[in-house]
Amino acid sequence: MLKAYALEVLGFDLAGIAAATPLESTTRLREWVGHGFHAGMGYMAETLEVRGDPSRFLPGARSVVCVAMSYHDAPEEPELAPRGDRVVVARYARRSDYHKVIKRRLVRLGRFLRTLVPAVTWRIGVDEHPLLERDLAERAGLGWIGKNTCLINRRLGSELLLGELVTDLTLPPDPAEGDHCGSCTSCLDACPTRALPIPRLLDARRCISYLTIEHRSELGEDLHRPVGAHLFGCDICQAVCPWNVRARCRAADPLRPRPHLGALRLDTLDRLEIASWDSLVAGTPLRRLSFARFRRNLGIVADNLRQKDEA
């Protein structure tokens, strides 16, 4: 009944249940942080133990209801090289801020659960909370973690936005999905910065998404050219994935794309002052990018586009 409510009433595209026991992947996360692959994301180290154990996120947790919303619409060619003066924004960021959308629906799910079991305790999570959400979603049968470290679903691909409802109620868990990447290495081969040195290992220090969104200081000179025209985020390792090429288009309100964010041009952006930038990104994930980092990224993109024109 709970999953049916999540799918049929709240409009989530996927829903599954995982046991809230400690995750086996915590050991890998600890090693990942130990090698410095988390780059400047200090919060990953600070919250490591909580992330690996839902009962630390919610004392007494027994189950995690995992949900997903697809933002997959018409597939695009991967942005492997700059084109004209077009500036690239990651596909998930070209629409309303998914945090608010998913949070509101998860709160409604928790309230519905409380009508069934009044004494239940629950807490919601999205990617800004300390949970290993992809690992939990994999455990809940929503898909498997691919070689690009994204959760992949056989019907919907990997353009998925995840959320969790952690509860102290014991619910029957769903079976996990097997791995369906096979021998494919398209994502590893396509990454222009080699941020995926081996399957399922992301080196955030070289990841375009991290560098253009999270990284606070200047980028190393060796990474300027591989960034290409990416102003905010990167979709390359997902765009080349065969599961996304044949995925069903499911993006619906309120996650339909805002067309103007997929058609940004260098000359237009270069004229923006801080107030107009704030207006452009209001209500979208792009608001995470400060004006200073926007100008930093735009300078790198401008140099790359200029070099392309001169070649």
- Active-site residues, by number, are 127
User: 160-182 b/e with 16+ CB inside 10 Å = b?
Assistant: bbbbbbbbbbebebbebbeeebe
Report CA-CA distances (Å) from 178 to 2, 63, 155, 191. 24, 21, 14, 25
- For 214, other C-beta atoms within 10 Å of its C-beta total 16
Give the residue carrying structure tokens 């070649």. Answer: 311
Contact by Cβ (8 Å): 38, 204: yes
Kindly give, in sequence order, each residue whose CB lies less than 8 Å from that of residue 35, ignoring residues fewer than 6 positions away.
none
Contact call for residues 152 and 180 (beta carbons, < 8 A): yes
Distance between CA atoms of residues 3 and 10, nearest Å: 10
